[in-house]
């Protein structure tokens, strides 16, 4: 089973992905983590994208596309991926479908975590204290939220049309969200 977890920055995608990975024996593919790693290791790619990431904008579809192909093409992860933070644009959503098809796979469910901007601001300022991410200040958080708002509607429509989209209330407690998500995944496993 392949899962997409979708939602604004600070919605809890990372937290929920870690839970799903454990419970359903999957692998988390977080494009944000992969990109942050490149920046941390000061690779050629990292140097190219650090200012884009710090300004709260999206890096190019091509860059993230290349990163995820390395994962999708690896047999170890076949039908065992939770895509955390990918796709974020309609082009990425279409690219992902094509890529999965190329490797004889598909998406089984898209989980959207719905959270208000007020909650996001609160969560991001808490995370800034814990994780010290350079893009977790309030100004960048708002910019990231705006970036999300701009591109998310088309992605959500795309998945609604293919009947894959399930919306989860991301304002609930972590445990409650865990159990709602588990139920949804169990239900498609049959
Ligand atoms: P995240 O950890 O998912 O919030 O991602 C942090 C940052 O990485 C984003 O603000 C973007 O700059 C970049 N990023 C992560 N995933 C993507 C993606 N799918 N497409 C473009 N940029 C991305």
Nearest residue (CA) to ligand 1, atom 15: 32
Q: State residue 190's pLDDT score.
A: 64
Candidate from 58, 72, 131 with most ligand 1 atoms within 8 A of CB, to mutate: 58
Q: State residue 132's pLDDT score.
A: 81
Q: State residue 49's pLDDT score.
A: 97
Q: What is the DSSP letter of 56?
A: T
Ligand 1 center–CA 31 separation, angstroms: 6
Q: What is the DSSP letter of 76?
A: G
Asked if residue 123 has its Cβ within 6 Å of ligand 1, the reply is no
Q: State residue 13's pLDDT score.
A: 94
Q: Which atom of ligand 1 is nearest to the CA of 30?
A: 3
Q: State residue 134's pLDDT score.
A: 82
Asked if residue 64 has its Cβ within 6 Å of ligand 1, the reply is yes
- E strand or H helix at 144, and its extent? helix 138-161
Q: Please, which contacts does 163-167 make with residues 24 or more away whose CB atoms are closer than 8 Å?
A: 164/4, 164/107, 164/108, 164/109, 164/110, 165/110, 165/112, 166/109, 166/110, 166/111, 166/112, 167/112, 167/114
Nearest residue (CA) to ligand 1, atom 8: 32
Q: Average pLDDT of each block of 10 consecutive residues along the chain (190 residues)?
A: 94 94 97 96 97 94 96 97 97 98 98 92 84 82 89 96 96 95 91
Candidate from 10, 33, 35 with most ligand 1 atoms within 8 A of CB, to mutate: 35
Asked if residue 53 has its Cβ within 6 Å of ligand 1, the reply is yes
Rg (CA), the chain: 16
């Amino acid at each position: 089973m392949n899962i997409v977890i979708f939602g604004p920055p600070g919605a809890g995608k990372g937290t929920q992905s870690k839970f799903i990975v454990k419970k359903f024996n999957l692998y988390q593919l977080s494009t944000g983590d992969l990109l942050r790693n490149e920046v941390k290791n000061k690779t050629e790619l990292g140097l190219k994208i650090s200012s884009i990431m710090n300004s709260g904008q999206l890096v190019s579809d091509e860059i993230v596309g290349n990163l995820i192909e390395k994962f999708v093409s690896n047999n170890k992860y076949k039908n065992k991926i939770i895509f955390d933070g990918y796709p974020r644009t309609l082009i990425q959503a279409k690219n992902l479908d094509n890529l999965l098809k190329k490797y004889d796979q598909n998406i089984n469910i898209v989980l959207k975590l719905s959270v208000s901007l007020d909650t996001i601001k609160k969560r991001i300022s808490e995370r800034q204290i814990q994780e010290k991410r350079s893009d977790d200040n309030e100004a960048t958080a708002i910019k990231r939220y705006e970036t999300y708002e701009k591109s998310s509607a088309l992605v959500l429509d795309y998945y609604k049309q293919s009947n894959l989209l399930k919306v989860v209330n991301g304002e609930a407690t972590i445990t409650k969200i865990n159990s709602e998500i588990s139920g949804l995944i169990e239900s498609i496993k049959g």
